Amino acid sequence: MTAWLSAGRNAAGLLRGRVPGQLVIQLTDRCNATCPQCGMRVTERFDRSRLSMDDLRRMIDAAAQKGIQALSFTGGEPMLLFEDLAELIRYAGAAGIPYIRTGTNGCCFMHSLRPDFRSRIARIAHTLADTPLRNFWISIDSAVAGVHEAMRGFPGVVEGIARALPLFHAAGIYPSLNLGINRNIVHDTMGLSPAAAHPTREAYLDEFYHRFRQGFREFYRFAAEMGFTIVNSCYPMSIDDADRGEADLNAVYGASSIDPVIRFSRDEKARLFKALFETIPEFRSKIRIFSPRASVYALYRQYGGGSDLPPYPCRGGMDFFYINARDGDTYPCGYRGAENLGKFWDLDLSSRRNGDRCVACDWECFRDPSVLFGPILEAASRPQALIRRVLKDGKCGTLWGEDLKYYRACDFFDGRKPPDYDRLGRFR
Ligand code: SF4
Ligand code: SF4
């Protein structure tokens, strides 16, 4: 399908209350890392699975036929299936899906002092560059190399990533650093606990906010100094039984945990999102920051910013879907495991209606685009509601407009293009 046809189809969809579809396919739940915040770590004992190539091709054909625009191959660790992964990306591109993403926990960047490191990485980079892959993420959980490497169980990987980045850039791939927000992002945020002596809860939260504010600064600096040109934040996916909403979730996607390193209370989350929201503008001119401030602001308000404005509901289960490696079935997302929607190729997307108004978790893959498309859908279907929203909190509209300008300056985070620092410089 040409770009024009695709744009026309998207515009018609928006008028009918639908946003461009997104599908996240978990290729496998196998992983070789030891991240404490994840139920798929190698030390967890359960029968691992992977999807068959026949089923994957059938899912991709169905996705293209149903107009899915964005396709992510996730894991576990997708790079454990590297040859299949490259073939699937080619297949999805040939089927007409324009936005294809995948990533790695970094395992392939280990042993960077071995003589074959450069040739091995160049081969990976060129293989991916020969596919229509648009974005390639590398996840790092702490700006303190030793802490990240201990969490992941990959000694020396941070140096390996820094050595690999120029080889990827030379091949025409600009990887994104994905930070999974947790309590270990920098020295200052580690060990910060409400149990420690603070005169009041408010005093603790104040310190929490300032430490994370500094932490995000350090992390963005670290990302830019390593050589990354795009950075994204994965919001914490704690399943916290003290919190409303997340307690009701039944995660089918194993990338969640009750480990304290990723567990935050609602009032901590409010400070966390405030700190992120306020740090992003300081770095927008230096590195392409994917996290839209409109979405981070909405999460801040949701967790305690005192708004009576309902957040834009997540499009999970309506336009966005998740396919699980273990059963090959479709779910509204990785966290509504009780709602098995069957095989994706049998799913009638037109029957998926706006009944759900879910904001039960903070999965950025689904929450961020839902917020970005929210005002467009509202303008098309309920313009009075949009006017009321803007009159009540004009900041929502301002942030949304700024995000769109920034996204344009970043070529909508095209990971096949280098950053244009002149355009980013306007956001200084
Ligand atoms: S977070 Fe990713 S890298 Fe870490 S154990 Fe889970 S799937 Fe593996
Ligand atoms: S907010 Fe979205 S991703 Fe989270 S549980 Fe609801 S539908 Fe799923």
pLDDT digits (tens, 9 = 90+) for 160-207: 999 999 999 999 999 999 999 999 999 999 988 777 778 899 999 999
* Entry pTM: 0.94
**Amino acid making up residue 125:** A
- Predicted confidence (pLDDT) per residue in 254-265, tens digit: 666 678 898 899
* Mean pLDDT of the region 199-225: 96
Q: How far is the CA of 41 from the centre of ligand 1 (A)?
A: 6
| Contact present, 75 and 28 (Cβ < 8 Å) | yes
| Band of residue 241 on the pLDDT scale cut at 50, 70, 90 | very low
* Among the listed residues 301, 297, 315, 328, the one whose alpha carbon sits nearest the alpha carbon of residue 402: 297
Q: Looking at residue 238, what is its pLDDT?
A: 63
In a domain, 8, yes or no: no
- Predicted confidence (pLDDT) per residue in 32-76, tens digit: 999 998 989 999 999 999 999 999 999 999 999 999 999 999 999
- The CATH number that applies at residue 81 is 3.20.20
* Among the listed residues 422, 404, 159, 151, the one whose alpha carbon sits nearest the alpha carbon of residue 294: 404
Q: How far is the CA of 284 from the centre of ligand 1 (A)?
A: 28
Q: DSSP 3-state assignment of 187?
A: helix
* Mean pLDDT of the region 347-357: 81
CB of 335 closer than 6 angstroms to any ligand 2 atom: yes
In a domain, 218, yes or no: yes
Is the pLDDT confidence value at 9 over 90? no
Q: Higher model confidence: residue 7 or residue 90?
A: 90
Q: How far is the CA of 131 from the centre of ligand 2 (A)?
A: 30
Pocket lining for ligand 1, CB < 6 angstroms: 31, 33, 35, 38, 40-41, 75-77, 105, 255
* Among the listed residues 209, 373, 235, the one whose alpha carbon sits nearest the alpha carbon of residue 296: 235
Q: What is the mean pLDDT of the chain?
A: 92
Residue 61 vs residues 58, 68, 93, 103: alpha-carbon distances, Å: 5, 10, 11, 22
In a domain, 14, yes or no: no
Residue 53 vs residues 79, 323, 395: alpha-carbon distances, Å: 15, 14, 47
Q: Which ligand 2 atom is at minimum distance from the Cα of 359? A: 1
Q: How far apart are the first and last CA of the chain?
A: 38
CB of 280 closer than 6 angstroms to any ligand 2 atom: no
In a domain, 12, yes or no: no
Counted domains in the chain: 1
Residues in the chain: 428
Q: Write the DSSP symbol of residue 24.
A: E
Dist CA 255 CA 306 (whole Å): 30
| Contact present, 175 and 202 (Cβ < 8 Å) | no
H-helix or E-strand spanning residue 321: strand 320-323
Q: DSSP 3-state assignment of 406?
A: helix
In a domain, 222, yes or no: yes
In a domain, 230, yes or no: yes
In a domain, 13, yes or no: no
Is the pLDDT confidence value at 13 over 60? yes
In a domain, 133, yes or no: yes
Q: How far is the CA of 241 from the centre of ligand 2 (A)?
A: 16
| Band of residue 246 on the pLDDT scale cut at 50, 70, 90 | low
| Contact present, 35 and 41 (Cβ < 8 Å) | yes
- Tracing tokens 């998740």 back to the chain, one arrives at 322
CB of 239 closer than 6 angstroms to any ligand 2 atom: no
For residue 282, the enclosing domain spans 20-427
Is the pLDDT confidence value at 24 over 80? yes
Among 253, 295, 359, 370, which is best to mutate for testing ligand 2, by the most ligand atoms less than 8 A from CB?
359
Q: Looking at residue 323, what is its pLDDT?
A: 98
Q: Looking at residue 177, what is its pLDDT?
A: 98
